[in-house]
Copies of this chain bind each other. A is one copy, B any other.
Amino acid sequence: MQKHILIVPGDGIGAEVTAVGKQVLEAIAAKFNHQFTYDEALIGHVAIEATGSALPNETLTKMRAADAVLFGAVGHPKYDNDPSAKVRPEQGLLQMRKELGLYANLRPIKLFDELLEASSIKPEILRGADILFFRELTGDVYFGEKKRSEDRNMASDLMVYQRYEIERIAVKAYEAARTRRGKLCSVDKANVLESSRLWREVVQEVALRYPDVETEHQFVDAAAMLLIKDPKKFDVVVTGNLFGDILTDEASQIAGSMGMLASASVGDSTGVYEPIHGSAHDITGKGVANPLASVLSVALLLDISFGLKAESEAVIAAVDAVLKAGYRTRDIANANTPADKLLGTYQMGEQVLRHL
């Protein structure tokens, strides 16, 4: 198979982890006899520094031309405590999602058995948990109109959904539920929000087309609680952009560490694959970041954008083998991890390659 992959490292640890991801792509191409070609492009803070824009036109053009994008992270602490900054790294990310029509963000939450102890949640609560989140990614309060009053004393964001936006993500979630355990939980705040009432209305309608899937509705506050209390009760979860942002970060604790979680953003054109963790400037350049979320993003990319199931499974099996062999990065290590099994970003990548 011939494919062109765009690597977009972005900010902070993005460069370190996508470098490992790319090595894994190369190893898969060699092993399974594919022709993968690569290019690179800028986004986020590094793009602002180089071009003044968080998403340069050149990057967008390259993304549209690629068969898939392997993405790192965006963000820089310099903007976080400066509420008046006009250009922000995150704008690049949001604009990319909108421009590429990436309306469905898939976040699989599954614990590797070897990491049962790495979580703050009890093993008996976690064992067997396996959730697939569908987070709507191009609507909601993220993209509604933003306003600041002239005297600067009032600020607002419009939380808004349209029927077709809800319907298309619901359909994707139901289709996935069919291939899994046949359960779907839709999360909203319909007891308070009009946009959530539309959300629930549309999901109820789509549900009629999938009588084989068991549908449940939860309010977002209850869902945030139940995810920790009883994660095994969930199969597919579908929710809006903001609630999805919060719930999937929370759910990362089910997987032991955020450093293990990959996501796929798909929609109208090129799919984008990225860790759910951020740019983590506190550890940038230290070579200690966990590259496995980027490696698992590669697994999603191979499966979803290229339909290469065996290749995807080989990547996941390699990660599993590395963990079984006892290798850990700092974030998933514990007091019992021997010093010679505690690896940096690059060495962890080497272990994955060795097990491929």
Q: Which residues of B contact A191 (CB under 8 A)?
A: 75, 79-80, 88, 90
Which residues of chain A from 190 to 208 have a CB within 8 Å of any chain B CB? 190-195, 197-198, 200-201, 204
Q: Are B157 and A163 in contact, CB atoms less than 8 angstroms apart?
A: no
Nearest chain B CB to A140 CB, angstrom units: 10
Binary B-proximity of A41-61 (CB < 8 A = 1, otherwise 0): 000000000000000000000
A258 at the interface (CB under 8 A from B): yes
Oligomer copy total = 2
Complex Cα distance, B148 from A197, in Å, reads 10
Binary B-proximity of A279-323 (CB < 8 A = 1, otherwise 0): 000000000000000000000000000000000000000000000
Number of chain A interface residues as a range: 35 or more
A197 and B83 in contact, given A121-B120, A160-B156 (Cβ under 8 angstroms): yes
Q: Are A195 and B157 in contact, CB atoms less than 8 angstroms apart?
A: yes
Q: Are A154 and B148 in contact, CB atoms less than 8 angstroms apart?
A: no
Segment at the B interface, from A18-26, A218-226, A266-274, A340-348? A218-226
Which of chain B's residues has its CB closest to A218's CB?
B80
A100 at the interface (CB under 8 A from B): no
Which residues of chain A from 78 to 119 have a CB within 8 Å of any chain B CB? 79-81, 83-84, 88, 90, 94
Q: Are B193 and A222 in contact, CB atoms less than 8 angstroms apart?
A: no
Q: Which of A79, A147, A155, A162 has the most CB of B within 10 A?
A: A155
Q: Are A142 and B249 in contact, CB atoms less than 8 angstroms apart?
A: no
A250 at the interface (CB under 8 A from B): yes
Complex Cα distance, B88 from A225, in Å, reads 23
Complex Cα distance, B246 from A189, in Å, reads 10
Q: Are A121 and B193 in contact, CB atoms less than 8 angstroms apart?
A: no
A141 and B193 in contact, given A122-B122, A159-B157 (Cβ under 8 angstroms): yes
Complex Cα distance, B229 from A142, in Å, reads 26
A253 at the interface (CB under 8 A from B): yes
Complex Cα distance, B253 from A120, in Å, reads 12
Extra A-B contacts (8), CB below 8 Å, given A83-B197, A156-B160? A83-B198, A141-B192, A141-B193, A153-B162, A153-B164, A157-B158, A222-B249, A227-B250
